[in-house]
Amino acid sequence: MKKIIPYLGIALGSFIFGFGLNYFIVANGLGEGGFTGISLVIHYLTGYSIGLIMLILNLPLLFIGWKRWGKTFVFKTLLGVLAVSLAVDLTQGMSMKNNDLLLGALYGGVFSGVGIGLVLRSGATTGGVDIIARLIHEKTGISMGNVFFSFDFFVLTTIAFLFGSDKALYTLVTVYVFSKIVDRIVEGPDDTRAVIIITEISQVITSSIIKEIDRGATILKGYGAYTGQNKDILYVVMSKHELLRLKKQIRNIDPLAFIIVSNVHEVLGEGFLPKK
């Protein structure tokens, strides 16, 4: 069953992506970023199948990827490309033209982002600009993020030139929402916080964290630049819901404690995500 689940995730994600693309984005004449955006431009100009265009654009890159990174990379990429291309064509008849292009852009970004996020989280890749960015990065050292930005800028400029600045601006909304949703699906919700507590009664607060919140803590030794006094610095990682309880406890124990809270990108280990 565990071996089947990733393939089900790829199939479901591909269908959601295809549905979002056709139902909201294509129906309202909007665009996308990356190879999907190029495929949409060609589709609007020629009427050719979007899925077929996506597949044809990716074939040369798959050959390059096979030569450079091996069969495993190509298998995962080909799986994702085929599933997404097929799903886009199967859902081609689904559409909802909306007078409010902003709604189309927002919902299109959400659905397509959820779909590609599920595909990536299930272990497949979707090729396209990912392969180009990886090649350029290895050859020149230019960051992949800059390559993605440059390619999307080119696509948006093309859409503005061919279909008008309004369509390009709404497409920018879609691209932004899409990227945020994909990040959230692949990396998980931003639910973890890192807390630094500077206090003179660290043992009491540490005891409260362990007993009341059931979290561990690390005690670091610090030195006050202004006061010249030694201070204990507590470092704790917890969920944002646990953070509310921690703040109340610290206020009751040491109202003068200095607290710094920051978002954490990812935590692996006991009490959080399993180590990969």
In a domain, 270, yes or no: no
Mean pLDDT, the chain, integer: 86
φ, ψ at 197 (rounded to 5°): -120, 120
User: Does 47 reside within a domain?
Assistant: yes
CATH number, domain containing residue 230: 3.30.70.120
**Boundary of a domain, candidates 187, 203, 229:** 187
CA dihedral (36, 37, 40, 42) positive or negative: negative
Q: What's the pTM value of the predicted model, to 2 decimals?
A: 0.74
Examine the domain organization and report whether 113 and 250 are in the same domain.
no
How far is the C-alpha of 119 from the C-alpha of 13, rounded, in Å?
Answer: 5
Number of domains comprising the chain: 2
Range of the domain at 229: 192-263
pLDDT, tens digit, 9 for 90 and up, residues 226-235: 777 888 899 9
Q: Is residue 276 domain-resident? A: no
Q: Is residue 268 assigned to a domain?
A: no
Measuring CA to CA, how many Å separate 49 from each of 27, 83, 126, 151? 14, 15, 18, 22
- Of 176, 186, 216, 221, whose CA–CA distance to 200 is shortest? 221
Residue pair 202/234 in contact by the 8 Å Cβ criterion: yes
Q: What is the pLDDT of residues 166-225, one digit of tens each?
A: 999 999 999 999 988 888 887 766 678 899 999 888 889 998 889 888 888 888 888 877
Final residue belonging to a domain, choices 168, 187, 206: 187
SS3 31: coil
Q: Which helix (H) or strand (E) holds 23?
A: none
Same domain for 236 and 159? no
Both 55 and 165 in one domain: the answer is: yes
Nearest to 194 by CA among 269, 261, 266: 261
Considering the domain architecture, whether residues 200 and 103 belong to the same structural domain is answered as: no
Give the N- to C-terminal CA distance of the chain in Å, as an integer.
20
Regarding whether 67 and 183 lie in a shared domain, the answer is: yes
Residue 214: the pLDDT is 85
Residues sharing a CB contact under 8 Å with residue 163, sequence separation 6 or more, in sequence order = 29, 31, 44
Judge if 205 and 131 occupy the same domain: no
